[in-house]
Structure 1
Amino acid sequence: MRIWSVANQKGGVGKTTTVVALGGLLAARGKRVLVVDLDPHGSLTSWFGYDPDRLSHSLFDLFRDNGSVPEGLPAQLVTDTSCEGLSLLPASSALATLERKMVGVEGMGLILSRALTQLWDDFDFVLLDNTPSLGVLMVNALAASQRLIVPVQTEFLAMKGLERMLNTLRMIMRSRSNPLPFTIVPTLYDRRTQASVQSLNALRKAYPDELWRFAVPIDTRFRDASQAGQVPSTYSPESQGTRAYGRLLDDLLAMTV
């Protein structure tokens, strides 16, 4: 099982779209894929037609047993999506209460790792969609991950979110026994605007080794795919955005060989 975390401490940069796009492409290549929604807002959950405010069971259930994960529970929480080969561990709005509930609970940062261990033989890839705030959920995601993908909108304000994310990564790295490689992915790129071009050039200058060599363009087909509850590779396989994520997936897979 390969576990990739998609995170940035800024909203609206394409985290959920990145998870759904990569997940759909992996499933189309015959991989067994699980996408996990760690955001109380539940954008990933909503993408596939589930209401985070109405779910009776969700990722939140993993955090109810004081740091332990009952045998069989993770598999019970996994649900189907519209994409064959792609499963979802959904979020509920109750996740917003975790910070208060988990204070002082030993091992609270390893709950997701323990849950995924139970699913190790069921999936080839797990993609984690993170909340934009640093807390117990992001700590769990980064502790469980083998690679971090950081989507960054190509505009100057997004650079600050990237700096915060990398500071968080450095902090998490102190408690890990092995390094967590990361890839910065420029998103929402519009080559017609000077702001996008300048921001991409600034990213290339500041992060020459970690920055993905291409960029994901603005593509309204992503929004349409979300409204249809489908992955982009099914809804619009030939769109610019889908093709960009295909190139990203090829590069990510090459990095892990």
Structure 2
Amino acid sequence: MKIWTIANQKGGVGKTTTTVTLGGLLAKQGHNVLLVDMDPHASLSYYFGIDSEELSHSIYDIFANPSGLSDDKVLDCLCSSKLDSLFILPSTMALATLDRSMGNQMGMGLVLKKALKQIESQFDYVLIDCPPVLGVLMVNALAACEKVVVPVQTEFLALKGLDRMMHTMAIMGKMLGREFDTIIVPTMFDRRINAAIAAHKQLLLDYKEQTWMGMIPVDTRFRDASQMQAPASIVYPKARGVFAYQKLLNTLDSDD
């Protein structure tokens, strides 16, 4: 089971779009895929039409009782999607209370890793959509994964946010005694805008070794797909944005 975390400490850079589109591509290839929503705002859950506030189980249950984890308990929290092999572990607003209520408890940074271990025989890939805030949720997502995908909008304010994210991963790496296998993904690129071209050049100057050499273009099909509650890779397979994510997926898989 491969576990990839999609993270950035800046919001609005394409984390959920990246998670959903890559997940859809993997499911279309015949893999069993789990998408984990770690953001209390639950954008990933709502994308698939899941209102986690109305569910009897969500990812919060896993954190609320980490000592009682079993494969059945974790599987009970999952929701299905329109694709037979694509499942979602939904979020809930209650996750926002974790730092205050449980953040100082021993072992809270490894809850998600232990939960995924319980179901590793069920899935080929797990993609974790992170909140844009450093706290127990992002710590769990980073501790659980083998690879970190960092979407970065091609504009200068987003580059400043990237500096913060890379600093966070350096600190986390020291705490966990490991280096993160990181790939930075330029998103929302519009070649008609000079500022986007300049930001992309700066990104390559600052982080050439970690930055994917492709880019994800601005594509309205992503928004259209969200209204249909399905990955763009399924409903618009020939969209240019989907084509770009397929190239990214090829790179991610070839690195393993």
Asked whether the two chains share a fold, i.e. TM above 0.5, the reply is yes
What TM-score results when the alignment is normalised by the length of structure 1?
0.97
Higher deviation after alignment, 107-116 or 53-62? 53-62
Task: Tell me, in whole angstroms, the C-alpha distance in 2 between the residues paired with 1:209 and 1:104.
Answer: 35
- Contact 1:69–1:115 (Cα < 8 Å) also in 2: no
Structure 1 residue 179, shift from structure 2 partner: 2.2
Q: Larger % of helix: which?
A: 2
**Structure 1: unaligned runs, 5 residues or longer:** none
How far is 1:56 from its partner?
2.6
Give the Cα separation in 2 of the matches to 1:126 and 1:70.
18
Counting matched residue pairs gives 255
Deviates further, 172-181 or 82-91? 172-181
- The CA deviation at 1:63 is 1.1
Which one is further off, 130-139 or 48-57?
48-57
Partner of residue 211, structure 1: 211
Distance in 1 between residues matched to 2:32 and 2:150, nearest whole Å? 23
Q: Residues 40-55 of structure 1: matches in 2 within 5 Å? A: 40-55=40-55
How big is the shift at 1:163? 0.6
Q: Secondary structure at the match of 1:175?
A: helix
Provide the secondary structure at the position in 2 that maps to 1:184. strand
3-state SS in 1 of match to 2:110 = helix
C-alpha RMSD of matched pairs (Å) = 1.0
- 2:3–2:126 contact (8 Å) kept in structure 1: yes
- CA deviation vs aligned residue, 1:136-176 (integer Å, no higher than 9, x gap): 00000000010000000000000111011101100110122
Measure the CA separation in 1 of the matches of 2:214 and 2:103: 41
Contact 1:42 1:90 in 2 (8 A): yes
SS at match of 2:209: coil
Structure 2 stretches of 5 or more lacking a match? none
Amino acid at match of 1:234: I
Report the Cα distance in structure 1 between the residues aligned to 2:171 and 2:19, rounded to whole angstroms.
Answer: 24
- CA–CA separation in structure 2 for the residues paired with 1:51 and 1:18: 21
Whether the 8 Å contact between 1:69 and 1:111 is mirrored in structure 2 is no
CA distance in 2, matches of 1:26, 1:166: 27
State the alpha-carbon separation in 1 of the partners of residues 50 and 103 from structure 2: 29
Q: Deviations over 1:188-212 (max 9, x none)?
A: 0000000100000101111111100
Q: 1:88 to 1:202 in 2, by over 3 A?
A: same
CA contact (8 A) 2:146 2:181 kept: yes
Report the Cα offset of residue 83 of structure 1: 2.0
Hey, what's the Cα distance between the residues in 2 that align with 1:194 and 1:204?
Answer: 16
Pair 1:193–1:140, CA change in 2 (3 A) = same
**Cα distance, 1:250 vs structure 2:** 0.3
Secondary structure, aligned partner of 2:212: coil
Aligned-pair identity in percent equals: 47
Where in structure 2 are the equivalents of 1:172-251 lying within 5 Å? 172-251=172-251
Partner amino acid for 2:112? L
Q: How far apart, in 2, do the equivalents of 1:44 and 1:133 lie?
A: 16
Instruction: Name the structure 2 match of 1:96.
Output: 96
> SS at the partner of 2:225?
helix
Query: Letter of the aligned partner of 1:158 in structure 2?
Result: A
CA shift for structure 1 position 52: 3.2
2-side partners of 1:145 and 1:162: how far apart?
19
TM, length-normalised to structure 2: 0.97
AA aligned opposite 2:27 = A
1:16 has 2:4 as partner = no
Could you tell me which amino acid in structure 1 is paired with residue 69 of structure 2?
P
Q: 1:69·1:114 contact (CA, 8 Å) conserved in 2?
A: no
**Cα deviations by residue, 1:225-244 (Å, 9 ceiling, x for unpaired):** 00100111111100010000
Equivalent residue for 1:35?
Answer: 35
Q: CA deviation at 1:69?
A: 4.1
